[in-house]
Amino acid sequence: MYIGKNIDRTDGWDKVTGKIKFIADIQMPDMLFGLTVRSPVSKGKLKEIKFDKNFDFSDITVVTAKDIKGENYIHIIKDDMPCLASGQIEYLGEPVALIAAKNIRKAYEALRHIKVEVEEETPLLGLEEIVKTYKREPHSLTYFYQPQINKGNIKEGFDEASYIVEAEFYTGFQEHLYLEPQGMMTYQKNGKFYCVGSLQCPYYVRPAVAKVTGKKEDDIVIIQAPTGGAFGGKEDYPSLLAAHTALLCQKSGKPVMMIYDREEDISFTTKRHPSYVHHKAGVMKDGKILVLESTILFDAGAYVTLSPVVLSRGTLHACSVYSIPNVRITAKAVKSNIPPPGAFRGFGAPQTLFAMEAFIDTIAHRLKLSPYEVRRKNLLKTGSEMATGQQLTEGVAIDRCLDRLISISDFKKKFEIYRKQSKSRETEILKGIGIATVLHGGSFTGSGELMLKSKAAIQLNPDGTLEILIANTDMGQGVQTIFPQIAASKLNIPIELVKCPLPDTSRVPNSGPTVASRTTMIVGRIITLCCDELLNLFEKHYKEKIKIDNGILLLTKSKKRIPFRKAASEIASKKPLYIEKQYDFPPEQVWDEQNYKGTAYPVYSWGAIAIEVEVNKYTFEIRPVNLYTVYEIGRAINPKSAIGQLEGGSIQALGYGLMEKCELKNGKFFQNRLQTYIIPTSEDMPEIKTEIIEVPYPRGPFGAKGLGELPHNGVAPALRNAVLNALGIEINEIPINPETILKYMKNRGLV
Amino acid sequence: MNIFTPSNIKELFEIRAKHSNAVLLAGGTDLLAQWHNNKSHPQKVISLSGIKNLSFVKEEKNYVEIGALTTHSVIAADRTIKKLLPVLSYAASTIGAPAIRNMGTIGGNIANASPAADLPPALLIYDASLILASQSGNRELKLSEFFRGYKLTALSDNEFIYSVRIPLPPADIYSEFFKIGTRRAQSIAKVSFAGLIKKDKKGIETIRLAAGSVAPVPIRLYETERFLQGRILTRSVISSACDIMLKYLKPISDVRSTEEYRKFALKNLLTRFLNKA
């Protein structure tokens, strides 16, 4: 009824008119403003936190590790990251103390009178250093996680192959640059701590705050404030920020707010993991890949945080959309002394997909084959076996995406014209076109959803309104609009009756984090189960079969027609009717975490991307001119919203491939302001043509699969392949900015 | 912060006389960002925006005069400037984005003395001068002599930039401005280049070249100009001109680009310009 309809975003109007209140817009009586005292060096022993004797600290709340009543770590995967460092310092900017004052200015003034003294040790900094050390003495590095994939026999594959192709790929940091920086406020009421903030995963924040404050989880309430973008950047970090505000609140007895300014946010919060991928493939003359041997290194930073799961997804997407009989992948999350990188749209997949999709074109380039043909030769089909041994039994749509893309982009013709044109001396502008074909596994990896046991609920109120109670957050992607569409359609009632409020852990069950392209696909399904149950309860109440038609209950036997509102007031007359269901994990989804065998993801979404660029021969400036994308996402619940996600994600990925540079200089991020960390503006946009293909996923709500992360996977490699087409050189790192091209041209003696 | 808001030049002089350490604020597009980044601001600020008659474009017989508070938007859209000084018009249109161009002024762009400022290379090839006003009267100073070092200018404490005076360029010239930014809008130049050339049968009659973001200040490329003067453009002349240019420039690697790239791009921009001329 509302599925496939472009329902306007319920939060849209308040957001564009500025009416909505973000966390920084909220004030409470007596509220203090908190700041973080940080380590000035990347590694060492904390000697002393010196408070200037000439400064009056009497009205400043100060918290150090000694004040922590609970346990001094942030609970994520491993409990290894201190809330406040007290002995060992592991990265520049690591929090060692917290202060809070009546206002921001006073807090900054106090901060200037605190000195942190650290006995410095030699840090491990930067991906280049990690790769160098790995090649020389791999045992000297510390690994947080080391998954391996083995399939077939790689020796036999290499023996049989006509060619061996080898290449190394590097990807850099990417900053989320959500419009709204990190922000959190904690206050106490009736012995409970209430943390309100900009966040993605309330049920990640709750145990973290409980552990640090020494309180029971029931005494911690997490409330999502309207969130101005997150992209994964508010998956784990808000746990630290909430713990910090809670500690200051616990000590001062007053509400405490912490809002990072942009520089602090870029400098110290999570980013996309930098990656190194080495691929070696055995290939037949026609482009068929017999064997792939790969090494993947992720710079995982100072603490474990989310790196194992990010690397896991990266590893599982490393073969992209190809069926390769013999595979060995060795992946490692390497500890270093930078702020821990974390979740970012795509979660490890954009890194390894960049490497594999670039590698396919490298193979094509070196074997003088068409990138399209090499893809076609190796594409996964229904019935194919992935590197993990997962059999793809249905819904493999990558061939459809690719063929449609080739047709709408006119790839074959343009590719040949541009390849020849690149030899010409006359023109100032060199054109190029590149493609990439990608996938994204929906929901948590492996048995993740089984362990999560997500619960979601609906609540029918006596006035006939229906509330969707989930822990999943709207961070701009449209949860608050999509979920009413799902529930209203499932029940066949007017959408105006359905509301999806922002989560508050005192009201909503734990439906898991808002990550992994899982919300619509997994939690949406649970909501449909709740709706089924509501219909059951109506049938029990009226003791006959019921159909709901456009908000009217049709009692099939007695032929009575009861408006939904009236029925609601009858069934929920005394108190609201609360219906909760748990995710029914498919028993056939079996995953062997030890050996990386089995069903890594229950279903995949597919995408094919082509990008056309113009490279200025004099300046090496790259201008993306046209971007064609074809995505298969099961079912677009709200096509306008889906296209918004797909196009927005494409642009974010374009920035990743083209310009977003974040260099590490002595442990510090060099580009740490909006002026220097460069993301695309509307002027940098190519013309975008996006098409959606729908192959419904039987277990998804109305056939929907995940789509949020998919668009981040293919644009950067397509861009790299377009530059290869234009200039004839293999560039194996991103961002590909003019400086990068110059470096590669110089290395090849071309300038 | 003490903010003074003179409404005419006389009041401005009086305030300057009393508060010589006060900072002059025009559009604020550079200063406000600087204050925000440093988390500190000057004690005394004189806001110039209330002063009337400092925003104007006047066409005189031999020159065009632009008031110091004229915004980049106005300069980019002004018909006189577009017709007579197209390179300046275009350079103004490459600054920031509409919001910045609506606030930022030509006087501020010059006084801020950023090596990456967009207008100075264009003004330098037009041989622009500044009219610097003080209580004791006005003086005219060539823009090329105004920049004294990184973020240093010849402006003295009791002076302010009143206007920019740009002599009309000779007829039959080829001129252009090329900015390589970090992106297509809302960007600061990695390299900018401006050139003006007039050729006759005997060779190059007039040549003026300028560049931004490749030295501590926006810079006129006098040595390269001297070399090219009177010559016929051949491949080897162009190549020598590039060598001379790079001999006198010391671009650095910074947050926006690398020394290597800046040299490469500048060389190519000069080559491209001379090839097109």
- pLDDT higher than threshold 80 for residue A422: no
Higher pLDDT, B196 or A420: B196
Nearest CA-CA partner of B273 in B133, B179, B178, B206: B178
Give the mean model confidence (pLDDT) for residues A572-593: 95
User: Which residue type is seen at B31?
Assistant: L
Nearest CA-CA partner of A523 in A699, A356, A681, A312: A699
Q: What's the number of domains chain B is made of?
A: 2
pLDDT band at A414 (very low <50, low <70, confident <90, very high): very high
Nearest CA-CA partner of A219 in A102, A104, A69, A368: A69
Chain A residues with CB under 8 Å of B188 CB are 675
Size of interface A-B (CB pairs under 8 A): 57
Would you tell me how many other CB atoms lie within 10 Å of the CB of residue A56? 9
Residues B109 and B185 in one domain: no
User: Does A290 touch chain B if contact means CB atoms closer than 8 Å?
Assistant: no
Residues B8 and B117 in one domain: yes
Nearest CA-CA partner of A350 in A710, A747, A722, A741: A710
In this predicted model, what pLDDT tens digit does every residue of B147-174 receive, in sequence order?
Answer: 999 999 999 988 999 999 999 999 999 9
- Yes or no, beta carbons of A684 and B185 under 8 Å apart: yes
Which tokens belong to A618?
Answer: 């004099």
Residue of B nearest to A663 (CA): B255
pLDDT at position B2, please? 95
Chain B residues with CB under 8 Å of A679 CB are 183
Residues B37 and B67 in one domain: yes
pLDDT at position B250, please? 87
Which CATH number does the domain housing residue B232 bear? 3.30.390.50
Q: How far is B181 from chain A (nearest CA, A)?
A: 9
Phi, psi torsion values for B183, nearest 5 degrees: -160, -170
pLDDT at position A690, please? 98
pLDDT at position B157, please? 87
Residues B36 and B163 in one domain: yes
- What are the CA-CA distances from residue B259 to residues A273, B256, B264 (Å)? 28, 10, 9
Domain that holds residue B244: 174-276
In this predicted model, what pLDDT tens digit does every residue of A127-151 receive, in sequence order?
Answer: 999 999 999 999 999 999 999 999 9
Task: Report the top-level CATH class of A362-445+599-747.
Answer: alpha beta
Residues B41 and B160 in one domain: yes
CA quadruple A717, A721, A724, A726: dihedral, nearest 10? -120
- Over pLDDT 70: what percentage of chain A? 99
Superfamily of domain A13-122+176-268: Aldehyde oxidase/xanthine dehydrogenase, a/b hammerhead (3.90.1170.50)
Residue limits of CATH 3.90.1170.50 in chain A: 13-122+176-268
In this predicted model, what pLDDT tens digit does every residue of A664-690 receive, in sequence order?
Answer: 999 999 999 999 999 999 999 999 999
pLDDT at position B133, please? 96
Chain A residues with CB under 8 Å of B182 CB are 659, 678
Chain A residues with CB under 8 Å of B265 CB are 618-620, 738
In this predicted model, what pLDDT tens digit does every residue of B103-117 receive, in sequence order?
Answer: 999 999 999 999 999
A37: CB partners within 8 A, 6+ apart: A49, A95, A96, A97, A98, A99, A111, A114, A116
Interface test with A, best of B40, B179, B180, B183 (most A CBs within 10 A): B183
pLDDT at position A425, please? 65
Segment B97-104 long-range contacts (CB within 8 Å, at least 24 positions apart): B97/A681, B97/B185, B97/B186, B98/B73, B100/B29, B100/B72, B100/B186, B101/B71, B101/B72, B101/B73, B101/B76, B102/B71, B102/B72, B102/B73, B103/B27, B103/B28, B103/B29, B103/B71, B104/B26, B104/B27, B104/B29, B104/B30, B104/B71, B104/B72
Residue limits of CATH 3.30.365.10 in chain A: 362-445+599-747, 448-582
Residues B152 and B178 in one domain: no
- What are the CA-CA distances from residue A659 to residues A174, B97, B183 (Å)? 10, 18, 8
Chain B residues with CB under 8 Å of A618 CB are 265, 268-269, 271-272
Q: How far is B11 from chain A (nearest CA, A)?
A: 33
pLDDT at position A427, please? 82
Domain endpoint, select from B146, B167, B188:
B167
Nearest CA-CA partner of A244 in A215, A203, A217, A208: A208
Task: Report the top-level CATH class of A448-582.
Answer: alpha beta
Q: Write the ipTM.
A: 0.96
Give the mean model confidence (pLDDT) for residues A214-218: 98
Residues B161 and B181 in one domain: no
Chain A residues with CB under 8 Å of B264 CB are 742, 751
CA-based end-to-end distance of chain A: 61
Q: What is the number of alpha carbons within 13 Å of residue A274 lying toward its C-beta?
A: 26
Q: How far is B220 from chain A (nearest CA, A)?
A: 21
Residues B252 and B140 in one domain: no
Q: How far is B216 from chain A (nearest CA, A)?
A: 19
Residue of A nearest to B276 (CA): A428
Q: Is B16 helix (H, G, I), strand (E, B) or coil?
A: helix
User: Which residue type is seen at A305?
Assistant: T
Give the mean model confidence (pLDDT) for residues A60-70: 98
**Residue indicated by tokens 């790192």:** A733
User: Does A678 touch chain B if contact means CB atoms closer than 8 Å?
Assistant: yes
A438: CB partners within 8 A, 6+ apart: A320, A321, A349, A353, A357, A606, A607, A608, A609, A710, A713, A714
User: Does A262 touch chain B if contact means CB atoms closer than 8 Å?
Assistant: no
- What are the CA-CA distances from residue A33 to residues A26, A97, A183, A250, A505 (Å)? 12, 14, 11, 14, 24
- pLDDT higher than threshold 70 for residue A424: no
Which CATH number does the domain housing residue B49 bear? 3.30.465.10
A158: CB partners within 8 A, 6+ apart: A164, A282, A290, A291, A293
Cα B95 to Cα A683: distance, rounded to the nearest angstrom: 13
- pLDDT higher than threshold 70 for residue A423: no
- Yes or no, beta carbons of B37 and A263 under 8 Å apart: yes
In this predicted model, what pLDDT tens digit does every residue of A86-97 receive, in sequence order?
Answer: 999 999 999 999
In this predicted model, what pLDDT tens digit does every residue of A440-476 receive, in sequence order?
Answer: 999 999 999 999 999 999 999 999 999 999 999 999 9
- Yes or no, beta carbons of A670 and B39 under 8 Å apart: no
- pLDDT higher than threshold 60 for residue A364: yes
- pLDDT higher than threshold 90 for residue B186: yes
Cα A528 to Cα A549: distance, rounded to the nearest angstrom: 17
Please tell me the pTM assigned to this model.
Answer: 0.97
Give the mean model confidence (pLDDT) for residues B55-68: 97
In this predicted model, what pLDDT tens digit does every residue of A15-62 receive, in sequence order?
Answer: 999 999 999 999 999 999 999 999 999 999 999 999 999 999 999 999
Chain B residues with CB under 8 Å of A739 CB are 257-258, 260-261
- Yes or no, beta carbons of A619 and B268 under 8 Å apart: yes
